[in-house]
Structure 1
Amino acid sequence: MNDNNSAANLATSLFDAYTKGAITPLRDQVDATDISLAYQIQQENHRRWSEQGRVTIGRKIGLTSTAVQAQLGVDQPDYGMVYADTCYCSGAQISVSQFLQPKIEAEIAFVLKSDLDADNLTIIDVINAVDYAVAALEIVDSRVANWDISLFDTIADNASYGGIIVGTTPVPLSQLDLENCKMQLANGDAVVSEGEGRACLGNPLLATLWLANMMIENGQPLKAGDVVLSGALGPMIAVKSGDRFTASIDGLNSVSVSFID
């Protein structure tokens, strides 16, 4: 890889895309099988955002649904950072102009009450660490033109993260069937996406276990208070001005968002 294709330079291309517009795929400039390089690019831009004052409030897990993997032509999950300035309350009105190519998907978000930083974590550790769950919507966005992404592209691009909308009624895990819960995402009165808990790596808690182990491996373990956006329960849907999306997930109150110019 020459100097022009260094992690820092590739990160700059993505960083500038937020204000200058979408770019061509990074995979054409690198060895796209080098996933560690993709995460280096992601981390470089995370450092830049942090230096500009953005506050990290958790992580998102991407590509947990086989339906979404099929949409994007990838075969494994990834993760990215969640920032405080991109977290909205259910019922929010959000301008589509702050995104490049927004889409939306329904998920379950967990908030942790204790750290997940021990060796050899198990699903029991994850269950004990979760304080509560809420219904959530994730705005996914790509800085790569026409969503022409590979696994390398989406990892480098902070797992194609745009923002989150969270419900306001916390529910303990003891009241949820996370494997069998049904999800419906409606735009107005029309159901546009459906799924269930098992679509997320078999169970959203298993996705969270995968993330917790990845973050330990990378020296950034999940901490008490972190939000974990556990992954899509069904296909993502394109967003345009005038849309009003509502997600209903068994056991959780609904979560909604409206998009305006």
Structure 2
Amino acid sequence: MVTIILEAASRLLEAEEAKKVIEPLTVTYPGITVDEAYYTQLEIIRRKVDNGAVIVGKKIGATSKAIQNMFGVNQPDYGHLLADMMVVEGETISLAPYIQPKVEFEIAFKLKKDLQGPNVSILDVIDATDYIVPAIEVIDSRIVDWKIKFEDTVADNGSSASAIIGGNPTKLEGLDLTHIGMVAYRNGEMIDSGAGAAVLGNPLRSVAWLANSLGKYDVSLKAGEIVLSGALTSAIEVKENDTFTAEFAHIGSVTASFKR
């Protein structure tokens, strides 16, 4: 088990640094388990933190049927957000650091209290949330052609790469996140729409799921962290000179522009 974790972590870190893809870990290590995949992710994050990286939050992936169907997985996963993954809205984003990027449109939670599983409820999430904001996550895969199984994306930090956080913090009071609608645009043309219910029925439930799942690995959500609660629609491939905007009812919009 330890050998697989250390080797898999090294392979993914080398692929990320070289901007080159590798064969799926589920091919290289056919018996890799979900636990081994999560411990691989934790090993990658540990090495990055040892080299100066700072954990600023977590991301939840594969929460919607659209994403699960797109990538052939059947349950949510999660990854870590590091300070150098966060992009200021309004900056043009270089595509150079990415291998095969896609964007997802999400609701982000800023926490004011710690959340430690197990037994975290939706009410606990409400109590721990400072505010929510629109977000765009840039996902990327170090696995060739996105040929991922669940264990591949888990080990690869939930296929995460960057996050762009909108600038309109909104309190939860009076909001029904299940029915918050979102319309997404690429270069001014509408490409998709969705609602909060796509995210495990309610983004609040998604954050509770995350806190409880992290508890198994003795990891907690910390006050001050950002949590990306999961995509409302399918992931969209990013091309040179693309500009994406996601407009959410009641909580504002977020925009990301890309160049080569």
TM-score (normalised: structure 1) = 0.96
Q: Distance in 2 between matches of 1:102 and 1:119?
A: 33
> In the alignment, what sits opposite 2:96?
97
Name the count of aligned residue pairs.
Answer: 259
> In the alignment, what sits opposite 1:250?
249
Shift, 1:252, TM fit: 1.1
Shift, 1:120, TM fit: 2.3
Q: Distance in 2 between matches of 1:117 and 1:147?
A: 32
Specify the SS of the correspondent of 1:255. strand
> In the alignment, what sits opposite 2:224?
225
> In the alignment, what sits opposite 1:62?
61
Q: Distance in 1 between matches of 2:2 and 2:204?
A: 41
Q: Distance in 1 between matches of 2:117 and 2:209?
A: 13
Specify the SS of the correspondent of 2:178. coil
Partner AA of 2:13 in structure 1: F
1:92–1:256: 8 Å Cα contact kept in structure 2?
no
1:194–1:234: 8 Å Cα contact kept in structure 2?
yes
Specify the SS of the correspondent of 1:173. coil
Q: Distance in 1 between matches of 2:2 and 2:249?
A: 51
Q: Distance in 1 between matches of 2:208 and 2:71?
A: 23
Shift, 1:183, TM fit: 1.1
Give the superposed CA RMSD. 1.4
Q: Do residues 138 (structure 1) and 137 (structure 2) align?
A: yes
> In the alignment, what sits opposite 2:214?
215
Shift, 1:52, TM fit: 1.1
Shift, 1:153, TM fit: 0.4
2:58–2:78: 8 Å Cα contact kept in structure 1?
yes
Specify the SS of the correspondent of 1:179. helix
Q: Distance in 2 between matches of 1:68 and 1:93?
A: 26
Partner AA of 2:8 in structure 1: L
The C-alpha deviation readout for 1:157-193, integer Å capped at 9, x for no partner, is: 0000010000111000114220011111111121122
Moved more, 24-33 or 154-163: 24-33
Which residues of 2 match residues 1-261 of structure 1 at below 5 A?
3=3, 6-20=4-18, 21-32=20-31, 34-117=33-116, 119-261=118-260
Q: Distance in 1 between matches of 2:14 and 2:173?
A: 44
The C-alpha deviation readout for 1:97-136, integer Å capped at 9, x for no partner, is: 1100000010000000111126522111111000000000
Q: Distance in 2 between matches of 1:214 and 1:118?
A: 7
Specify the SS of the correspondent of 2:84. helix
Q: Distance in 2 between matches of 1:29 and 1:230?
A: 31
1:136–1:164: 8 Å Cα contact kept in structure 2?
yes
- Distance verdict in 2 for CA 1:36–1:255, change over 3 Å: same
Partner AA of 1:111 in structure 2: K
